Amino acid sequence: MEVDREDGRSQNQLRPLACSRNILHRAHGSASWSQGDTKVLAAVYGPKAGTKKNENPEKACIEVIWKPKTGQIGKLEKEYEMILKRTLQSICILTVNPNTTTSVIIQVVNDDGALLPSAINAACMALVDAGIPMRHLAVSICCCVPRSGLVILDPTKLEEQNMKAFAYLVFPNSVHSVLPEGSLSVQGEPIENGVITSVTHGVMSVDDYFFCLERGRAASTKLSDFLRRNLQHQSTDSSKAG
């Protein structure tokens, strides 16, 4: 059963992806990520001395600042900051630089659906650009359940507003490892099958949710490959002189 999408995509197709690293000069790391018309810019400063008041000084602290395109900062922005902070805290190795703060600043350039997933992807690229030690990367995708029909991936803003429910999912990226098979799995399952973050809006049945997870996981392998190719390609031809 094919769902008729406005821009002609099938239900499993993502929008054209584009990303670039090291675009700002003052920031220690920066990246821009765009999925279709949604574009997000991320910058990383860190590690800086000192942690914030309520944070554990024996670990590194991650601070996220979310800047919307226009208007005041409200509850939605604070919620995004919190989700992003917890996601990044779980992928960064916090014990390497204790008592330091790494600031991640997200600037929304254009919002056309799937904003939080784009921001998470951009933040990961920016952390890699800044050289912050991480266990693995995170790739994020938005899956939604329409009123009738099958789960679709990567909605535009118009599609998101007409959905019954949608979920933002974050998975670890797929690992190419020199270690023997099995040492990177958790309880028998490979690490890519885990879910780092899941935020849902609206009501969906349990089956629909598991369906979203499965589709999301399949998409995340494609995203991981894209990220890996992009990072390798840029690191071979960039020279950081001056």
Q: Which residues bind other proteins (CB under 8 A)?
A: 7-10, 12-17, 24-27, 30, 36-37, 39, 41, 43, 45, 48-50, 52, 65, 67, 69-71, 103, 105, 107, 109-110, 153-154, 214-215, 218-219, 222-223, 226
The least CB distance from residue 41 to other proteins, in Å, is 7
The least CB distance from residue 90 to other proteins, in Å, is 23
Please count the other Cβ atoms lying within 10 Å of the Cβ belonging to residue 109. Answer: 15
Q: Taking a C-beta distance cutoff of 8 angstroms, is the pair 122, 31 a contact?
A: yes
Amino acid at 79: E
Return the sign of the alpha-carbon dihedral for residues 115, 121, 127, 130. negative
By C-beta, is 12 or 20 nearer to other proteins? Answer: 12
By C-beta, is 178 or 189 nearer to other proteins? Answer: 189
Grouping H, G, I as helix, E, B as strand and the rest as coil, residue 225 is: helix
Strand order in the sheet with 197-202: 152-153, 138-145, 165-172, 197-202
The least CB distance from residue 162 to other proteins, in Å, is 17
The least CB distance from residue 219 to other proteins, in Å, is 5
By C-beta, is 27 or 92 nearer to other proteins? Answer: 27
The least CB distance from residue 55 to other proteins, in Å, is 12
By C-beta, is 136 or 215 nearer to other proteins? Answer: 215
By C-beta, is 73 or 184 nearer to other proteins? Answer: 73
Q: Which of 19, 13, 24, 14 is nearest to 34 (CA)?
A: 19
Helices (H), 52-114: 75-91
By C-beta, is 90 or 191 nearer to other proteins? Answer: 191
The least CB distance from residue 100 to other proteins, in Å, is 9
The least CB distance from residue 23 to other proteins, in Å, is 8
Nearest-angstrom CA–CA distance, 94 and 96:
6
Nearest-angstrom CA–CA distance, 84 and 71:
20
CB-count burial class (<10 Å; 0-12, 13-18, 19+) for 66: buried
By C-beta, is 89 or 110 nearer to other proteins? Answer: 110
Grouping H, G, I as helix, E, B as strand and the rest as coil, residue 37 is: coil
Tell me how many degrees the CA angle 213-188-95 measures, rounded to the nearest 5.
85
